[in-house]
Structure 1
């Protein structure tokens, strides 16, 4: 099968890069530092069980869910895989 300018492992390299980007993005969003007893968005108390399960937590569950939905709407368009990026 003719692949043009693509190398033998081009598809796998693209998959690996996409997965690596997703892992980096997820790790960068993990809470760091000391946790809070009250949500920094709405000031609702954060239960001790949540603070224990998520060290460094800063948001209550409803606020975290809202933030996750907002970020999910903007979730990564794979620029590496688009036809336009290959033409440049």
Structure 2
């Protein structure tokens, strides 16, 4: 299959890079250290079940949901597209 200027396997390389970036981003957001008993944003108590389920938790559920929505709005673009895909 002709792919223009892209080399063999370029599409798979782009897919792999996108997945690798997503994994790095997810790992960088993992909490570290002990869980807090109170939310660091609103000072609401964090239930013990949540602290046990999510190691290193720092936010209550409502603050975490707001934080996740904010993060989702600013992610998901792959800027490593090949020149060939940019010309289409």
Q: Is the 8 A contact 1:33 1:56 kept in 2?
A: yes
Q: What's 1:80 paired with? A: 80
TM-score where L is the length of structure 2: 0.88
Q: What's 1:3 paired with? A: 3
TM-score where L is the length of structure 1: 0.88
Q: Counterparts of 2:82 and 2:73 in 1: how far apart (Å)?
A: 19
Identify if the C-alpha distance between structure 1 residues 38 and 85 changes in structure 2 by more than 3 Å, giving closer, same or farther: farther
Shift of 1:7: 1.4
Q: Deviations over 1:54-86 (max 9, x none)?
A: 010000000000000001000121111275996
Identify if the C-alpha distance between structure 1 residues 40 and 79 changes in structure 2 by more than 3 Å, giving closer, same or farther: same
Relative contact order, higher structure (CA 8 A, sep 6+) = 2
Q: What's 2:26 paired with? A: 26
Q: Which runs of 5+ in 1 are unaligned?
A: none
Runs of 4+ in structure 1 deviating by more than 4 angstroms, as ranges, are: 82-87
Q: What's 2:56 paired with? A: 56
Q: Which runs of 5+ in 2 are unaligned?
A: none
* Aligned-pair Cα RMSD in Å: 2.0
